[in-house]
Amino acid sequence: MATTILECDDFILNGRMKDSDGSFGAPGQALVAGSSGDAWGAPSLGAPTLGTFSITNGVAVTTSNTFATVNCINAAVLQSGDFPTISSGVISVVGSGFYEISFAVTTTSTGARATDIFAISINNTVVGTESNSAYIRNSSGINEGACVLTQTLQLQNGDDIRLVSRREGTITTAGSTVGSKSVISVRQLAQPSTTTGVVSSAESAEATRNIIIGTSSTPPAIAGVFANTIYFEREA
């Protein structure tokens, strides 16, 4: 079958569309890309990528004013989709995209006015903002404080997420995590935008799907598009 390139502002289909095998789809089906062509099938609804992890109790936090890793991230308590994995206190991202990372870490100390601050490190580099400071008065039964933070980061597949902490002020009395009052959650919000499309014969490898959304106002050469392909030109 010959290749057809359509250049138009609007595309209206009256009738039915066939897949690469010449078959019509059933109600509720969508064209699903495959290695040998597109075929009608059930669309993948997907599942939100989410991982919520407990915090180990009694892990020491640093008493220095410089951030240091707190190896306290524990087992997953809630999982969905291609959820992040956990190993030796490190969360590994599965799939690139924009991620919302939220944590609440409670610490305790016998030091009056001990003040902990937590943050997130990606591949051993502190990124983003810091949490609030957890001011522990250690008086009248007030011997705990919570550090809370939610932020959005663009992460790559395989990136490692760690928790780090530092001490505000000059109090150097030891402190530690309170596991029963702490948690961290990692949720993928969206995948990064791409400019994938057929813009020239040099990118003909992208034309293995039946419907291509172009990224250029210049359509590709006929020889640069595979057979059975509909190309939608992007308006300048």
Total domains in the chain come to 2
186 with 198, same domain: the answer is no
Q: Does residue 34 belong to any structural domain of this protein?
A: no
110 with 210, same domain: the answer is no
83 with 136, same domain: the answer is yes
pLDDT tens for each residue of 92-106? 998 889 999 999 999
pLDDT at 81: 80
Q: Does residue 39 belong to any structural domain of this protein?
A: no
163 with 64, same domain: the answer is yes
Which CA distances in Å does 15 have to 10, 12, 173? 16, 10, 75
133 with 75, same domain: the answer is yes
Q: Does residue 10 belong to any structural domain of this protein?
A: no
Is the confidence at residue 28, as pLDDT, over 60? yes
Q: Does residue 1 belong to any structural domain of this protein?
A: no
pLDDT tens for each residue of 33-78? 777 778 887 766 566 788 999 999 999 999 999 999 999 999 999 9
115 with 153, same domain: the answer is yes
175 with 200, same domain: the answer is no
142 with 204, same domain: the answer is no
Distance CA 10, CA 12 (A): 6
Average confidence (pLDDT) over 123-134: 96
Lowest-pLDDT range, 88-92, 104-108, 210-214?
Answer: 210-214
pLDDT at 24: 84
pLDDT at 202: 43
161 with 115, same domain: the answer is yes
Which of 87-125 are b and which e, b meaning 16 or more Cβ less than 10 Å from the residue's Cβ? eebbbebbbebebebebbbbbbbebeebbbbbbbbbeee
Q: Is residue 126 helix, strand or coil?
A: strand
Q: Does residue 42 belong to any structural domain of this protein?
A: no
pLDDT at 227: 45
Q: Does residue 23 belong to any structural domain of this protein?
A: no
Q: What is the CATH number of the domain that holds 131?
A: 2.60.120.40
Is the confidence at residue 234, as pLDDT, over 70? no
pLDDT tens for each residue of 147-205? 999 999 999 999 999 999 999 999 999 999 999 999 999 999 887 655 444 444 444 44
160 with 204, same domain: the answer is no
Burial class for 39, CB neighbours closer than 10 Å (0-12, 13-18, 19+): middle
58 with 159, same domain: the answer is yes
Range of the domain at 94: 50-190
pLDDT at 25: 81
pLDDT at 223: 46
Q: Does residue 103 contact residue 185 with C-beta atoms inside 8 Å?
A: yes
pLDDT at 120: 98
77 with 120, same domain: the answer is yes
Find the angle CA(113)-CA(118)-CA(124) to the nearest 5 degrees. Answer: 140
